[in-house]
Amino acid sequence: MPKQVDHEERRELIAGAVRRLAADRGLEGVSLGEVAAEAGISKGLVQHYFPTRDAMLRHATRTLRDRVETRVRQPMSTGGLTGLHAVLIALLPLHDESRTEALAANAFLVRALKDPEIAERFRAGHARLREELAAMTAAAQADGDLRETLDPAREADLLLALVAGLGDAVLLGYRTPAEAKALVAHHLSRLTR
């Protein structure tokens, strides 16, 4: 019997190559040929899964979003102020993998303004994170860990902006990972009762 090809695995192999190339060189480094070379497969095989470069780029943004959601799932389920803190730390690019993902997401920013499918994915991902951070903030208020005068949605906006900005500062070497973590902790400490 011929070996069963795992199509999902192949698509992830290609998406991983797109993420690494985009992180390393920006989207200008992401051609079907470069992706094939990076993934160690033929250009024809890449085209079998993604007939166009645009389709390949769109799929890569889907995997970017999935990876962020996977990364925050565990700390999110922890709940409480501890969980909220852990989610924020998980959103910072502190490790090789999350650094690659953050750089790749950055490389897609300008494209997100032009491609409605990518724009909608970014927007939905941001809206979901915002809802979840607001819900965690409200729960920590109910626990008596965060001040009850805080508006959860507003605090979620501030927290998301803060980790996005600190993430760029870490990527560019303006701040060390330890400094970024300390700044998140300091901001959170101001919200506690």
Task: State how far the Cα of 85 lies from the Cα of 68, in Å rounded to an integer.
Answer: 16
| From 7, 25, 48, 193, residue interacting with its own copies (rule: CB under 8 A) | 25
| From 158, 177, 178, 192, residue interacting with its own copies (rule: CB under 8 A) | 158
Q: Are the C-beta atoms of 81 and 146 separated by less than 8 Å?
A: yes
Q: Does 122 bind its own copies (CB under 8 A)?
A: yes
Contact stretch for its own copies (CB under 8 A) within 41-49, 70-78, 109-117, 131-139: 109-117
Contact stretch for its own copies (CB under 8 A) within 2-10, 44-52, 71-79, 159-167: 159-167
CB atoms within 10 A of CB 134: 19
State the amino acid at position 122 in one-letter form.
F
- The pair of structure tokens assigned to 145 is 């860990």
Closest CB to its own copies among 4 and 189?
189
Q: Does 41 bind its own copies (CB under 8 A)?
A: no
Instruction: Show the DSSP H helices in the chain as ranges.
Output: 7-25, 32-39, 43-49, 53-78, 80-90, 96-107, 109-112, 116-142, 152-171, 177-189
| From 6, 97, 113, 131, residue interacting with its own copies (rule: CB under 8 A) | 113
CA atoms 35, 39, 43, 48: torsion sign: negative
The residue ranges that bind its own copies (CB under 8 A) are 22-28, 103, 106-107, 109-114, 119, 122-123, 126-127, 130, 154, 157-158, 160-166, 168-169, 171-175, 179, 183, 186-187, 190
